[in-house]
A = this chain, B = another copy of it.
């Protein structure tokens, strides 16, 4: 009976999680130092899942596993591994395994693997490559970090413009060394400038005598080799590209970027924005050790401490009125907190709209107006509610009026700050996701406390 229960697939957990049974089998095999059992558990898994599993076990288990199973690590697993674990894992691999793993990787994956390494480790890996591949990787590394040149692969399929479908298919059949994955044949002129491309579906569906030029796609975009990868990912998503040729400054074809690589970048960019908006470094990973986590979180907490002290300095200007009316101390965090939340809403919408190119010079003032009016309306709604709460709770109508007016002021300021600060940072070349939060909450804290306590001093004392 129990056996039956254990054998049930854990599909209820939701698809694509590594099955618990596999994880326990690996744990057990590590404890028993049983290399064959590890192999049996990991062999059926996709390299991406093996990489995830390596990220999820503790560093001690990782060391033990790699000691027993280093022969199992291949190029695909290395490519899938989180960057912050790669050096650790590579450190456990025998030279031969590492060379073998690297030799079977595509050039873009090797670039991704070595670009953040120390020079001597980079040398070691590049040394394991065949000459042509090493040159390709070194050329890629000469392009700026996070540029199309780093992202592209050099393996591609081209055809001269004057070929027919038949000539192209014959060429492809003769060619031994076709890329693992390709989706288009790129047309080039005699100067190796790309002039269009043909989907493989069209190539397969057309008679042999068809001229390539007559079946090329209408829309055709090339990507400059120095273009930031974020822009590349945007172009793939916006224009539904599947692959796109990359050209150098002379418009000559140097490589191709495929949609799966663009998808990874798009995913990483969104992830970075999410983390940065929450004051976490975009590089933080779940597999980080504790001290690394502390280091990643400290700066933002430091900034927040500074802004919180600033807010306290504002409060300290009103010590006298606070001593006289203690209700003010009870109620003042409400105004600041509502402002902080409204500001975060506006700024998050603005940061994402900047990232997705939806917020531009041409609609910015309309958006500012909308945010301000929305802030005003929400401010009025919550002013009424808090005014009533203030009166009911403390029995002082004027206190209700003060908190209501302060609420309206702070929500309007929050809305304005939430959009103007990220737009301003973007114009200064600073990632708005990284820094907006600190500025906006400083503004809403300071304005919130100042408006509330200042009005109270004027009206209630």
Where the two chains meet, the residues of A that have a C-beta atom closer than 8 Å to any C-beta of B are 14-18, 20, 23, 27, 46, 48-49, 52, 55-58, 157, 169, 172-173, 175, 178-179, 181-183, 199-201, 203-207, 219, 227, 231, 234-240, 242, 259-260, 262-264, 266-267, 270-271, 273-275, 277-280, 284, 286-291, 293-294, 297-298, 300-301, 304-305, 307-309, 311-312, 315-316, 319, 322-323, 326, 329-334, 336-338, 341-342, 344-345, 347-349, 352-353, 356-363, 366-367, 370-371, 373-374, 377-378, 381-382, 385-386, 389, 445, 449
Contact = CB atoms under 8 A, between A and B. Distances in A.
B16 A235 contact: yes
A284 B358 CA distance: 13
Contact of A344 (B49, B278, B286): B278
B280 A345 contact: yes
25 contacts: A15-B235, A16-B235, A18-B360, A20-B361, A27-B362, A48-B240, A56-B358, A56-B362, A169-B169, A173-B207, A178-B205, A183-B201, A200-B200, A240-B260, A259-B263, A263-B266, A267-B270, A270-B270, A275-B349, A279-B344, A284-B349, A286-B363, A290-B374, A305-B385, A329-B329
Contact of A358 (B175, B237, B286, B381): B286
Nearest to A453: B329
A315 B236 CA distance: 53
A452 to B, nearest CB: 12
Contact of A277 (B199, B260, B277): B277
Binding site of A, secondary structure by majority: helix, strand, loop or mixed? helix
Contact of A199 (B181, B290, B389): B181
A348 B305 contact: no
Nearest to A165: B173
A274 to B, nearest CB: 5
A348 B178 contact: no
A239 to B, nearest CB: 6
Given A56-B358, A304-B337, A326-B319, A352 B275 contact: yes
Contacts of A18: 360
Contact of A183 (B15, B242, B263): B242
A311 B329 CA distance: 12
A54 B359 CA distance: 13
Contacts of A20: 361-362
A374 B270 CA distance: 25
Nearest to A238: B48
Nearest to A176: B205
Contacts of A231: 14-16
* 5 tightest Cβ-Cβ pairs between the two chains A and B: A278-B348, A270-B270, A200-B200, A329-B329, A56-B363
A294 B378 contact: yes
Given A56-B360, A201-B181, A353-B286, A280 B348 contact: yes
A301 B46 CA distance: 44
Nearest to A210: B173
B48 A239 contact: yes
Given A48-B238, A200-B200, A305-B334, 6 more contacts: A15-B235, A23-B362, A271-B352, A294-B378, A298-B381, A311-B337
Contact of A300 (B46, B181, B345): B345
Given A275-B349, A280-B349, A312 B334 contact: yes
Contact of A293 (B179, B206, B271, B371): B371
B359 A175 contact: no
Contacts of A242: 181, 183, 259-260
A326 B326 CA distance: 9
A20 B362 CA distance: 8
Given A236-B263, A386-B305, A374 B200 contact: no
A51 to B, nearest CB: 10
